[in-house]
Chains A and B, each alone.
Chain A
Amino acid sequence: MPTNGVPTTLTQGSGTRGGIGESTLRPDGTLKVTGEFAYSSDMWHEDMLWGQILRSTVAHAEIVSIDTSEALATPGVYAVMTYDDLPADVRHYGLEIQDTPVLAHGKVRHHGEPVAIVAADHPETARRAAAKIRVEYRELPVITDEASALAPDAVLVHEHRDDHHIGHVPHPNVVHRQPIVRGDVASARERADVIVEGEYTFGMQDQAFLGPESGLAVPEEDGGVHLYIATQWLHSDLRQMAPVLGLPEDKVRMTLAGVGGAFGGREDLSMQIHACLLALRTGKPVKIVYNRFESFFGHVHRHPAKLFYEHGATADGKLTHIACRIVLDGGAYASASPAVVGNASSLGVGPYVVDDVDIEAIALYTNNPPCGAMRGFGAVQACFAYEAQMDKLAARLGMDPVELRQLNAMEQGALLPTGQPVDSPAPVAELLRRVKAMPMPPERQWESSEGADVRQLPGGLSNTTHGEGVVRGVGYAVGIKNVGFSEGFDDYSTARVRMEVVGGEPVATVHTAMAEVGQGGVTVHAQIARTELGVGRVTIHPADTRVGSAGSTSASRQTYVTGGAVKNACELVREKVLELGRRRFGPYHPAWATAELLLEGGKVVTDGGEVLADLVDVLGDEAVEVEEEWRHRPTEPFDLRTGQGNGHVQYSFAAHRAVVEVDTELGLVKVIELACAQDVGKALNPLSVIGQIQGGTTQGLGVAVMEEVLVDPKTAKVRNPSFTDYLIPTILDTPTIPVDVLELADDHAPYGLRGVGEAPTLSSTPAVLAAIRDATGLELDRTPVRPEHLTGTA
């Protein structure tokens, strides 16, 4: 099968060790394995206080009264604050819509909403004092789903909306609505020989990063505050925090502390403002660390969704049309819901060619926990449903499910439902071919010389089967994810690069505000600097707000955009260094003026390989420094009625094959293998790329068979906020994950790279579901699948 595109080649720096394309090791690896790496929850300061948040015990209620007197009188307590104590007129924040109160005002809209904050000299004192705050609630009816949100007498979750979406939504309990209409579904339906319909449910997933929300706020002498924080985007936090603190942005300093994972869950603010408020109020450093229980309330989750799909095809398997309606539950506050709607709708038909589409996606305001960003961001829910539909269609047509997908797979040049052409390689069919071609794990892999190894069987060490009732199934899925912020967002990054001689050696220093959350951006920045500047030693400056914004560590964008900014700044530094060299040494060798010059191995060389000078001599005592913003090509918003528009920057494609074994009597699933093929454009660091793919795949596995935040539909209260009750995959639940990496350059992107992190989270879930359907013959229209769904006892 032919593929479009070619692998990337380098023109500069390919002779320098530790550059791009090598699996260099993490610069923070040693600190992380010795316990020395300072995570946000490890911060400590002389005379430091501990902050604690009091959260609502009900989901929807008027606050009748708050009595803090007993809490304030507790020995060791330094401050108690409620809404009335906020220092500025601005008292709400939000990523796009400022609808979230810093502390509840008159009303709480979801279970676990912050109501009051306490600072004390010991965390337990702070917890006990918070428990002594008396809040009287008058409960209101709860909005929990589309029916209750849009009912004629529905209570409005937000009474006085004035955001920019209110003008085009059908009801004030709808945050945002995005239709996408292309072609003519009604007449295409006439051409269809088969039509399959499905209604699918996607459960609420938690990011479950291991490092809890935490940070240390230190008051400063000028009346400002310095926050050491785990976040995904320092400058976005700053923009939301400063107005609420009543401070200009230059008096709120932000330094990135060690981040223990993120996956979207740190895109919104959590304890940032609360810690700063308490520090400014008490004049003392204040540390806040959530425990796991609080963490489940302290960040947004992945939107649960209801998805309604209709797929039509001709008898030979060509898609005629797709109609779908995606209802996302945004919970009590907007967070990233509008952008999630944009993704779910624009990527709603998947990586397939279909001319006639009718898509609608909406996000609701409800009294459920607020939902926002999580790895895959709207594309995950859609992929689960459209891939289930493709299998259903294949079964109806009597076709092989992989062949049906390949027959309809998009290629470079195809149009998305938004009318936007896919103008870079789109090897969808090839990825499916590759993942299908991987060797299969052996049948009865649980058999050993000593009989069945129960650890390899469903149920594991619970010893529930030795192979009886165990059936194997195989399933495939493929997905499409956008890379970067879409819909016209000014998605830039800033990098400052400095080059100078230190200790007799040329050294590059890279300073960005990029949040390293574990993805390995710091590794890649050093590699880019080595490649572009031909140096061996690179220092990565800690991320802070003394340099311009690097945008969010989200949307698979950091290597593309901040990596692009680092590359660009390095190129500018290189030009200046060569200029310096021409001034100093130009008269001595004509090649300075005539040849193409490169920096490699600490030297200036001609493209013919002749060494002209050592960088040490070129630089001398001078330091060359550049700080520049860098942008990818612009995007535009989707039309609010038709959804047309060039909204996306780039796409990322991955395909999975899942092999499962199911104990059909007990409904227990063991995923045996989860193979992935992904096009990454260019693997800047192959080891990290594979780590991203395996990690993303595993999060998709989690939401396929175990992960769901359970919310009581009667009370809208969270029922399982702990790792005892919300299960994420352990090493026993996770199979081997063979990865086949394809590198087809995207000519629009630095080095031809493609954002990597999210695509594997999309197709992993539907592949596992397809494999379970294959094993059991059941329809399975929801995820996660639990034993009761397989045994008919749900």
Chain B
Amino acid sequence: MRLNVTVNGRPQEADDVWEGESLLYVLRERLGLPGSKNACEQGECGSCTVRLDGVPVCSCLVAAGQAEGREVVTVEGLADHAEQRSHAGGAHGTSLDEARQWQARGTDSQTGEGTRLSPVQQAFIDAGAVQCGFCTPGLLVAADEMLERNPNPSDADIREALSGNLCRCTGYEKIMDAVRLAAARQPEGV
């Protein structure tokens, strides 16, 4: 079948999708977006978490066809998503001023240095919340969504919101630190 889905703001089309394929498989293997991870493929680990029309879901449990005509945000689109949110209320897209000031960003192909990051992504790096990093994309999408709903979470709120995301490396302490840091770094009134 042919699948039409908007991913990270861009309309995408995938052909010859087998009906049994998951959204995760289509993202990873057909759309060139392997950031969403495949740790369990049974909805237990949360490493494949994406936003489907704004709602966090395990993309491994979403049949590709269920995403037809819908909007998906993956970890690859998180920085853009956060930026758009911070401009929310105003017009979408690039302002004329921004367009005039645009310049190519030099990014280091090995380390990704110079890449624009969302606040929660930056906080994960700064707090040491990344070790092997396999759980990180799903945790980032889930944590970003929680901070969108609840900008001042208690520790218990953070734990509850991230309880569907397994991490085997960190013991979660640095992940707690990262989310607290991202929350603290938010501008007043958000």
Contact = CB atoms under 8 A, between A and B. Distances in A.
B136 interface: yes
Interface in A23-38: 23, 25-38
A294 to B, nearest CB: 10
A96 interface: no
A210 B121 contact: no
B75 A35 contact: yes
Contact residue range for chain A? 35 or more
Nearest to A208: B168
A212 interface: yes
Interface residues of B, number: 64
Given A34-B115, A722-B44, A731 B175 contact: yes
A737 interface: yes
A211 interface: yes
Contact of A694 (B29, B76, B133, B173): B173
A646 interface: no
Contacts of A41: 34, 37-38
B90 interface: no
Interface in B118-171: 121-122, 124-126, 128, 130-137, 140, 156, 158-160, 162-171
B42 interface: yes
B45 interface: yes
A708 B26 CA distance: 33
Nearest to B75: A35
Given A210-B47, A691-B174, A728-B168, A32 B128 contact: no
B110 interface: yes
B35 A35 contact: yes
B130 A124 contact: no
Contacts of A722: 40, 42, 44
A428 to B, nearest CB: 23
Interface stretch (A237-245, A255-263, A464-472): A255-263
A461 interface: yes
Nearest to B76: A35
Given A208-B168, A691-B128, A28 B133 contact: yes
Contacts of B59: none
Contacts of B131: 261, 518-520, 691, 695
Contacts of B173: 690-691, 694, 734, 736-737
**Which has the most chain A C-beta neighbours within 10 Å: B112, B115, B165?**
B112
Contacts of A27: 110-111
Given A32-B130, A42-B28, A732-B159, A694 B112 contact: no
B89 interface: no
Contact of A36 (B112, B174, B175): B112
A209 B134 CA distance: 9
A248 B174 CA distance: 45
A210 B171 contact: no
A695 B42 contact: no
A489 interface: no
A30 B115 contact: yes
Given A33-B136, A44-B29, A728 B171 contact: no
B130 A209 contact: no
A724 interface: yes
Nearest to A33: B121
A752 B180 CA distance: 34
Given A699-B168, A723-B40, A731 B33 contact: no
Contacts of A736: 173
A407 B79 CA distance: 56
A261 B166 CA distance: 12
A703 to B, nearest CB: 13
B28 A461 contact: no
Contacts of A216: none
B111 A34 contact: no
A177 B108 CA distance: 53
Contacts of B137: 33, 35
B117 interface: yes
Contact of A687 (B74, B128, B172): B128
Interface in A15-60: 23, 25-39, 41-42, 44
A546 interface: no
Nearest to B173: A694
B37 A456 contact: no
Interface string B24-61: 00001100111111111110110100000000000000
Contacts of A33: 75, 117, 121-122, 124-125, 130, 133, 136-137, 140
A261 B44 contact: no
Nearest to B156: A455
A734 B20 CA distance: 36
**Which has the most chain A C-beta neighbours within 10 Å: B45, B112, B132, B167?**
B132
B76 A34 contact: yes
A734 B176 CA distance: 11
A359 B106 CA distance: 61
Contacts of A614: none
Contacts of B38: 41, 212, 289, 291
Contacts of A453: 156
Contacts of B78: 34
A258 B164 CA distance: 24
A210 B115 CA distance: 26
B113 interface: yes
A236 B20 CA distance: 38
Contacts of B42: 292, 722-724
A212 B38 CA distance: 8
B134 A260 contact: yes
B171 A697 contact: yes
B20 to A, nearest CB: 6
B134 A211 contact: yes
A760 B38 CA distance: 28
Given A210-B134, A456-B156, A35 B34 contact: yes
B170 A34 contact: no
B88 to A, nearest CB: 22
Interface in A709-741: 722-724, 728-732, 734, 736-737
18 contacts: A26-B130, A34-B76, A34-B115, A36-B35, A36-B115, A39-B34, A208-B168, A209-B134, A212-B38, A292-B45, A455-B156, A455-B160, A518-B169, A691-B174, A695-B131, A723-B42, A723-B45, A737-B173
Interface of A: 23, 25-39, 41-42, 44, 122, 124, 207-212, 258-263, 289, 291-292, 453, 455-456, 461, 517-520, 539-540, 687-688, 690-691, 694-699, 722-724, 728-732, 734, 736-737
Interface of B: 18, 20-21, 28-29, 32-42, 44-45, 47, 74-76, 78-79, 110-113, 115, 117, 121-122, 124-126, 128, 130-137, 140, 156, 158-160, 162-176
Given A260-B134, A731-B162, 12 more contacts: A29-B124, A33-B133, A34-B76, A35-B75, A124-B18, A210-B166, A260-B132, A691-B131, A723-B44, A728-B166, A734-B171, A734-B172
Top 6 closest A-B pairs, CB basis?
A35-B35, A518-B132, A32-B133, A260-B134, A30-B112, A694-B171
